[in-house]
Structure 1
Amino acid sequence: MVQISKVLVAASVAGLTAAKKVFIDNDGLAPLQVLFPLLAGWEVLGISTSFGSSSTVDSAGAAYDVLTAYNLTSCIPHYVGAQQPLLRTQDTFDTWQSLFGELVWQGAFAPSYEDLYSWDNITYNDSVPGAVALIEAVKANKDTDPVYIYAAGMMTTVAQAISLYPDLVKDAAGLYIMGGYFDQQFAAGTGTPIVNDINTDINLMQDPEAAQIVLTANWTELYIGANVTNYLVPSQELYDRLITKAGGYSVLEENSYLEPVLNLVATGNYTENTSEQTLPFWDEVVSAFMVWPDMVQSTTNFSVAVDTQFYSPFYGSLRIWGSEFAPKGQITGNATIVNKIDDSRFYDLLVSTYFMDWRQYCEVGGPVTLEGY
C-alpha cells in the first residue's frame, strides 16, 4: 500500500494556505511543467492548450494524457486556447519561408504534419475558451492572490485575453514565457539541423503580432526564458541517474506510472537516441525558475519588442535594447531575461519529482511517497 509522506503533504498543505497561483497556456504540455508548480505549493488554476508546435487537437491530447496519467483532472481544469494565430496563415507562413529560408521546425504548419489524436478521445472543459478562462482566473484572484501566467507556446491566447480584458496585465501577478531567443544567428546558420532548430524562436515566429501585443504590455513582471532554456539538456549522466533511481531500465518498461521517465530516457543510450529525444528542457526550465526564483543566478533587464514586419528576415524575432537605447518610434516592453540558473538543482528536482506519486494530489493536496522509492 502507498503510504502518504507526512513531510511532503504537510509542506504542500502549508504552502496552499498562501499558495501562489498560475494559469498555463501551452502547445504541448510536459509533465514537469505542471508538477513543478504543484511541488512548490502553487495552485494550478487552469491549463489551456493551443495551436503551435502541435495542432490544437494534439496539444489538447498531450495535456489530457499528462493530467490523466497523474490523476489531476479533478482539480486542474483543462481548456482549449487559441486555435490559430491572429494574422498568420499557412499561406503567409509558406510565403515568408520562400522569401527568407525554410525553418527546420515548422510545427503544425509543416506540410507533412498529421494529427496524432482525435477529439473523440479527449475530455476537456468546453464551457469557455482558454482566453476567457484565463481572464476569469485573474479577475477572481486579483485582490487576494494575483495569478501568474505562463505562456509556453504562441502568445495568441494571452493576446486574446488582453484584447478582451486590457486590465489583465495589471491584475495578474506577472507573465513568464518560454521563448525570446536573441543573438542566435551564428549558431543557427553554422550548426546541424537540430542546432538550427534549437536556435529558432518558433513560439514567437508562428504568431509575431500576438507576441508583440503580449510582450509590450505593461506587466508588473515579465520574465523571458530565452537562451538559458537551451543550455539545460538531457545527457547520459541524467539517463543513468533516472535508470538507477528506477531500479533498472526494465522497471521503466514494466511500470506504467514511470512511462514519462521511459519516454525521457528513450533507449537509455544518449548516442542512440534521436535528436528529437534529446531536445532541451525548454518548458520545464521556465516552470522551475518561476516557482523557485532563488534558483536564478543571473538576469538582465531589457526593453523588448517583436519584429512584425512581414518583409523582414527577422519577422517574429525578439529584439532587445538597453533601456536608454530603446527606439522611440515603436512600442517596447520591459522584460527580465534570465541568463543563468542553478543547473544542478534543476536536475535534482527533475529526478525527485518524477519519482513521487502524484495520483492522490487532488485528494491530499500534495504528492505521496511512490512505493519502492
Structure 2
Amino acid sequence: MFNLAKITIATISLLSLTSSKKVYIDNDGLTAPVALIPLKNGWEIVGMSGSFGSASLIDSMGQISNILNVYNLSSCIPLYEGANQPLLRRKETFKIWQSMFGDLVWQGAYDDHYEDMYTWDNVTYDQSIPAALALIDIVKKYKDEDPVYIYSAGMMTTVAQALSLYPNLVNDSAGLYIMGGFFDTQFAAATGTPIVNDINTDINFIDDPEAAQIVLTAGWKNLVIGANVTNYLVPSQKLYDKLIEKAGGNLTKIQNTPYLSPLSQLLATGNYSQNNEQQTLPFWDEVVVAFLTDPSLILNSSNFSVAIDTQFYSPFYGNLRIWGNEFAPKGVKTGNATIVNQIDDDKFYNLILDVYLDEYRSYCSDGSIGIYNITEEI
C-alpha cells in the first residue's frame, strides 16, 4: 500500500524546489554549511565549481565532491571545473611581490610546501563543460524565470572568465555575493599573532587582483561583499559543546560516523582550545552564504564605491579600496557595492547548529530535509 502522506510531502517538497531562489557557488574549497545552508533556507543550488586559490584546483574540486557525496547531493547539484590559475599572477610573481612588501602568513596553493590531498580519480564532476561556460548557460537559462544569484567565495577568476565571454552576465543574473574584501585591517595584521595576521589578510583578492577588479567593477545590479563582518563569527567551546550534545553526546561515535565526517572535522578533538589554527578559523564563507539566502540576518550595511589596487609595485596590490560614492576617484574604474557590517550572531550560530545535524540524503530524490538521528546509523 502506498503511503499517501509521504507521497504528498515529497510532492510539496519538489514543487517548492522548482519555485525556489537559485544560487551558483564558486569556491576554492568547501565546508559543509556552504552547501547545506542554501538548501536549509529553501534555495536551490543550480551549480558549483571549484577553483584554484587557498587550495589547488584538484583539492578544491575534491573537497566539494566529497561534501556532495557525503550528503548524497551529487545527483542534483552539478559540479564543474573552475579556473586552474589566476589571470596574470603566477607563483613566481607572487614570491617577487612578497620579497618587496612582506610575506603572507597563508599562501594557499602557492605555498612551497603545499601538497595535493586528492586525485582526479576520486572526484565526481561534469567534465563536459568548464565552469565559466556552465555559469553562463545556467544564468541564461533562468534569467527570465528566476534569475540566479552568484556566490564567489575564493578568487574571482572563474567569474572573470565568464564575464570576458559574456559581459551581460551582470544583467541576466540576480547579483553577485563575495566572501572577501577586508579593509582597515593593517594595524591588526601588523600587531597580531600569525593567525590574526592570516585572518586579516585577504588572499581571495590578493591571489588574483586583476580578476577581482574586473568582477567588482563589472556593473552588477546587486553586488554584496562580506568584508570584515566575516572575521568576527568564529567557533567556540560553547558551540562545540552544543554540537556534540545535539549529535548524541559521544565524540567518538561522531568521529566514527561517515555522515558526520564534516562535523567531526570541525570538532577535531572536541575541545576548542586544543584545535590547531586551521580548524579554528572564522566562519568566513558560511556567513556570506547565510545572509545571501536569509537577508533577515543582516542588521547593518553600507554602500560604497569600490575597486581593487592592481598596481604590482604597491604594498596594497590586491587589496580592496573603498570610498564614499561622492568621493570616488575619476581616474580608476570603480563599482557600487553593499558591504555588510553586522549580522544577527545568535541566529547565525543556531543555523550552524542545525545544518550540521539535519538529514539531507533524501534531498535529491524528493526535495526533503529531515532531522538526523545518529542512533539510526548502522
TM-score by length of 2: 0.95
Say yes or no: does 1:60 pair with 2:43: no
What value does the CA root-mean-square deviation take over the aligned residues? 1.6
Is the contact between residue 50 and residue 81 of structure 2 (CA under 8 Å) also seen in structure 1?
yes
Tell me which residue corresponds to 1:154: 155
- For 2:303, which of 284, 301, 304 is the aligned residue? 301
Q: 2:253 is matched with which residue: 235, 251, 259?
A: 251
Query: What is the one-letter code of the residue matched to 2:73?
Result: L
> Is the CA contact 1:181–1:227 (under 8 Å) kept in the aligned structure 2?
yes
More displaced stretch, 166-175 vs 260-269: 260-269
**Shift in CA distance, 199/11, structure 1 to aligned 2, threshold 3 Å:** farther
Match of 1:171 in 2: 172
Residue 274 of structure 1 aligns with an amino acid whose one-letter code is N
Q: Give the whole-Å Cα distance in 1 for the aligned partners of 2:31 and 2:81.
A: 16
In the alignment, is the contact (CA less than 8 A) between 1:9 and 1:368 conserved in 2?
no
What is the percentage of aligned positions where both structures have the same residue? Answer: 62
- Matching residue of 1:71: 72
* Match of residue 33 from structure 2: 32
Uncovered stretches (5+) of structure 1, i.e. residues with no partner = none
Amino acid aligned to 1:170? N
Is it true that 1:121 corresponds to 2:122 in the alignment? yes
1:196 aligns with 2:194: no
CA offset digits 1:13-69 (Å, max 9, x no partner): 464242111111000011111111111111111101000000000001001100000
Does the C-alpha gap of structure 1 residues 111 and 372 become closer, same or farther in structure 2, counting only changes over 3 Å?
closer
> Residue 339 of structure 1 aligns with which residue?
341
* Structure 2: gaps (5+ residues): none
Counterpart Cα distance in 1 of 2:7 and 2:358 = 13
Q: What residue number does 1:280 align with? A: 282
- What is the CA deviation profile of residues 290-313 of structure 1, one whole-angstrom value per residue up to 9, with x for unaligned ones? 000011000000000000000000
Contact 1:15–1:40 at 8 Å: present in 2 too?
Answer: no
- Give the structure 2 partner of residue 369 of structure 1: 371
Of 294, 297, 306, the residue aligned with 1:292 is 294
Distance in 1 (CA, whole Å) between partners of 2:331 and 2:288 is 31
- Cα gap change, 1:180 to 1:33, in 2 (>3 Å): same
Q: Secondary structure at the match of 1:79?
A: strand
Is 1:43 the counterpart of 2:40? The answer is no
| TM-score of the two chains, using structure 1 as the length reference | 0.96
Task: Select between 112-121 and 75-84 the one with higher mean Cα deviation.
Answer: 112-121
Report how many residues are paired.
370
Partner SS, residue 288 of structure 2 = helix
- Residue identity in the other structure for 1:86: L
Moved more, 86-95 or 242-251: 242-251
Offset of residue 123 of structure 1: 1.8
2:270 match = 268
Query: For the residues of structure 1 that align with 2:100 and 2:374, how far apart are their CA atoms?
Result: 56
SS in 2 for 1:297: strand
Q: Which residue identity does 2:368 align to in structure 1?
A: G
SS in 2 for 1:300: strand
Runs (4+) off by over 6 Å: 4-11
Q: In 2 relative to 1, CA 336–253 (structure 1 residues): closer, same or farther, beyond 3 Å?
A: same
Q: Determine if contact 2:305/2:325 at 8 Å carries over to the other structure.
A: yes
In structure 1, C-alpha distance between the alignment counterparts of 2:311 and 2:133, rounded to whole Å: 29
* SS of aligned partner of 2:254: helix
1:352 equivalenced with 2:354 (yes/no): yes
Partner of residue 317 from structure 1, selected from 313, 316, 319: 319
In structure 2, how many angstroms separate the alpha carbons of the residues matched to 1:193 and 1:11?
50
Measure the CA separation in 2 of the matches of 1:25 and 1:317. Answer: 20
Structural mapping, 1:85-164, within 5 Å: 85-164=86-165
Of 175-184 and 262-271, the range deviating more from structure 2:
262-271
What displacement does 1:355 show? 1.0
Q: Out of 283-292 and 351-360, give the one that drifted further.
A: 351-360
Per-residue CA deviation, residues 114-137 of structure 1 (Å, 9 max, x unaligned), is 111111221211111000000000
Please give the alpha-carbon distance, in whole angstroms, between the structure 1 residues aligned to 2:13 and 2:164: 35
Aligned partners of 1:356, 1:6: CA distance in 2, in Å?
Answer: 21
How far did 1:265 drift?
Answer: 1.1
Residues 162 and 175 of structure 1: CA distance in aligned 2, closer, same or farther (over 3 Å):
same
Equivalent residue number for residue 216 of structure 1 = 217
Give the match's secondary structure for 1:124.
Answer: coil
Distance in 2 between residues matched to 1:6 and 1:318, nearest whole Å: 51
Deviation at 1:257, TM superposition (A): 1.0
3-state SS of paired residue (1:187): helix
What CA distance in whole angstroms lies between the structure 1 residues aligned with 2:346 and 2:355? 14
Q: Give the superposition deviation at 1:185.
A: 0.1
Distance change (3 Å), C-alpha of 1:12 and 1:186: farther
Say if 1:12 and 1:40, in contact at 8 Å, map to a contact too. Answer: no
> Cα offset for 1:84?
0.3
Counterpart amino acid of 1:215? L
